[in-house]
Amino acid sequence: MMQKNVLSDNVLNKINDIKKADILVGIPSFNNAKTIGHVVRAVQAGLTKYFPERKAVIVNSDGGSTDNTVETVQNAAIEDFDSIFVQHAIKPVFKITTPYHGIPGKGSAFRTIFDIARMLSARACIVVDSDLRSITPEWVELLIKPVLRGSFDFVSPLYLRHKYDGTITNSIIYPLTRALYGKQVRQPIGGDFGFSGDLAEFYLSKDVWDTDVARYGIDIWMTTTAIANNFRVCQSFLGAKIHDAKDPGADLSAMLFQVVGATFDLMEQYSDKWKSIVKSEAVPTFGFKYAVGLEPVSVNIKRMIERFRLGAKELKTIWDKFLPEDVIEYLNIAAKLPENDFVFSNELWVGIIYSFALAAHTRAINKEHLLKALTPLYIGKTASFVKETAESTPEQVEEKIEELSRLFEDKKNILRENW
Amino acid sequence: MNIINKIIVEPVRKSLENILVFLPNILTSFLLFIVGIIVSFLAKVILERFFKAIGLDRFSSSSGFDELLIKGGIKDSLSVLLAKFTGGLIFLIFTLLSMKGLEIVIVEKLIERFLFYLPDLIVACLLLLLGWLLGNFFGRAALIASVNAGIRFSRLIGVFVKYLILIVAVTMALEHVGIGKETIEIAFAVLFSGIVFAVSLAFGLGGKDIAKKYLENKIGGEQKQDQDDIRHL
């Protein structure tokens, strides 16, 4: 699925001038003028510092920004290399800025990046978000080196995050992906990835660019496609991930619909693959692990439990259509528990996620309704998790997530037998 | 004896003669009715298999039509649905033919009027079906969205949306078949205004504290007392 005609003559001329590249760094953007300058400078510094002898190209794939994002990218440059103990690169770092075409979304932006990577025969590529505040030159090294020197095809990020950050990843996406495809990739929807030129070409060959993958499901699609098609996968420790505050009113149910929906869609595509996998295995991990201070996260448990109770009362008629009776009974009990005793067990949660996956497979109800009806349950599970781990250290929290993940694996037969 | 003849025997004889004259028509009609049942049943079975064989369900699934059916709570596949509809239509045609076969003037006139009315009736039925599908879909969507927004009377909102759509569909359907056109328009306007007024009142009375708190927060600066900082992704 090549898209030869959509790149402008200017961009095509530039690609013809560059001819070939060793490394390609893709940065998708949409109105990120505030942060993208820092990202581009960090990437330039990383390329200059760690890969001075390699021919590198930075590609900004923009979705029609109106806030000078493109100009910021073009003007971003490191003025004082000495201050970061870096000598000028032996080979210059090229920059290409291009609007992407197709359905608006991160996936379409990535498609353009993959396409340019193919045209430049890039050996190693990375993609990083344009709203990152914590990106350092080392990220470039950590995401590229496993591909260039370790012959890995896909490098997933490993971040240090607050124990209450990334709760959809921790309670659904990571345990489910790990149980399904047998690889312990801790941040499957991290968003900052490294990958080989071969894998970029493989991504490009897939006929998904008119689907939800083009809009929002690209992260889990990239990870799952790499794992399910037996590309060599590893992860690199990048430190803390701090990015520009997203819209605070961002709808949780929309997030669940997009991310969990994309994961369920991939289950359809790779059902033959995941059915045969019984256990998961660790993937090679690179980078030097260290602790950093993380911003405190405030949580209103009372309100979360109230939201769960409201869902248990009002959405029962919808849940009845696909949740097993024992799960419904348990939910009724949980909804009546006082705040201090409120608990949402891992067994219950695994049963719920697998039932939702099966309901999506059998199309018990409209997919959007189905996934949005998961919201109160997810809030209940998160409230319980926050209560359980209030006094826990990051290591203890990680152990809890490990326990949940093992349970997802142990109960995978529910999926296999009812699919 | 003459009286008995006049009162009983003669009418009975005439009735029997009438019945004998009418009997072939009844038999023909009955036969047509039975044939209608058999043909419609066979057509349903054959068409269902045919539609499945040509991959209509696959097309329905890939085109997203299945989604629409599921949204409206219809569990039948497109093949089954079309086969049922065609079977029903065949049955209806045979039933009308059998009734026409009776050669009763009133029945014939009724059938004529019915056939004249049929296109409007089909459109009205389609409007009702569409209203039912959309009512169920948007009612459920409103319920889920309200629950996720933490609104306590979510069920009421869901039911309101569902029945509002149904009322609009019924009104349009009745208007289409020309039943009490003006009365329905007035009734709808009264009903709709009443519902809007009731909902406004409910929102006003039930939500005055929320509105007060919201305005205080907005005007007096956002107080993030009960906000969560959790980043879910």
Domain with B36 in it: 1-103
Within 8 A by CB and 6+ apart from A98, the residues are: A7, A8, A11, A59, A60, A61, A62, A112, A116
Interchain pair B232, A255: CB under 8 A? yes
Contact residues on chain B for A217, CB-CB shorter than 8 A: none
Say whether both A276 and A328 belong to one domain: no
Assess B84–A contact: CB distance below 8 Å, yes or no.
no
CB atoms closer than 10 angstroms to residue A81: 15
- A379 with A256: CB under 8 angstroms? no
Best mutation target among B133, B144, B218 (most A Cβ atoms within 10 Å) is B144
B96 and B16 assigned to the same domain? yes
B123/chain A closest Cα distance in angstroms: 26
Judge if B38 and B136 occupy the same domain. Answer: no
Q: What is the DSSP string of B74-93?
A: --S-HHHHHHHHHHHHHHHH
Q: Where a domain ends, among A236, A260, A286?
A: A286
Could you tell me how far CA A64 lies from the centroid of its own chain?
23
Together in a domain, B77 and B150: no
User: Mean pLDDT of residues grouped by 10 in chain A (419 residues)?
Assistant: 69 92 95 93 92 93 91 83 66 88 90 95 95 92 93 94 89 97 95 96 93 88 96 95 65 89 95 94 91 76 93 93 93 92 94 96 89 96 92 90 97 94
- CA-derived radius of gyration, chain B: 29
Q: Does B152 touch chain A (CB under 8 A)?
A: yes
Determine, for residues B140 and A369 on separate chains, whether the beta-carbon distance falls below 8 Å.
Answer: yes
Comparing A75 with B215, the larger pLDDT belongs to A75
Q: Quick one: tokens of A137?
A: 């030159």
Our CA-based measurement puts residue B197 at a distance from the nearest CA of chain A, in whole angstroms, of 24
Per-residue DSSP letter, A94: E
Residue of B nearest to A304 (CA): B228
Q: How many structural domains does chain B have? A: 2
Sign, Cα dihedral of B147, B153, B159, B163:
negative
A134 touches chain B (CB under 8 A): no
Let me know whether A91 and A207 are in one domain.
yes
What is the residue range of A58's domain? 4-286
pLDDT range class, residue B130, cuts 50, 70, 90: confident
Q: Are residues A217 and A280 in the same domain?
A: yes
Give B175's pLDDT tier (boundaries 50, 70, 90). confident
Q: Under an 8 A CB cutoff, do B229 and A299 touch?
A: yes
CA distance B184 to chain A (A): 33
Whether A397 maps to a domain, the answer reads no
**pLDDT, tens digit (0-9, with 9 covering 90-100), for B136-169:** 889 999 999 999 999 988 999 999 999 989 988 9
Q: Which of B144, B228, B229 sits opposite A369 (nearest CB)?
A: B144
Mean pLDDT of B16-31: 84
Coil, strand or helix at A24: strand
User: Which residue type occupies A393?
Assistant: T
ipTM over 0.95: no
Which residues of chain B does A253 touch, with a Cβ-Cβ cutoff of 8 Å? 144-145, 148
Residues A282 and A252 in one domain: yes
